[in-house]
Amino acid sequence: QKEVEQNSGPLSVPEGAIASLNCTYSDRVSQSFFWYRQYSGKSPELIMSIYSNGDKEDGRFTAQLNKASQYVSLLIRDSQPSDSATYLCAESSGTYKYIFGTGTRLKVLA
């Protein structure tokens, strides 16, 4: 049974700080990884995707992938109260069948 593990949180950070969200996965053949943001009562929306080891930056967001350690993370720089949401990690082993973690709730304190 493939699994994606996330700390449920809440992770509280002050406004302007860096928020670091972590995710581990069990399937060594996992190829693609995704970070989704979900506001309370809303649907998940895609923030970042990453396929290769290393870092991928998009604005204030940086995704980091380490396949040897089966670890993927999302850094949010200059965190804003509007970033307060649940962040879902998902993985795919080459198909469209994604496995989602249960999410980490982030609270950015003004």
Among 2, 10, 14, 31, binds another protein (CB under 8 A): 31
- Max Cα–Cα distance, the chain, nearest Å: 41
Query: Mask: binding to another protein, 43-62, rule CB under 8 A, as x and -?
Result: xxxx--x-x-----------
Start-to-end CA distance of the chain, whole Å, equals 40
**Closest distance between another protein and the C-beta of residue 15, in Å?**
27
Our CB check for another protein shows the closer of 42 and 77 to be 42
The nearest distance, CB 64 to another protein, in angstroms, is 17
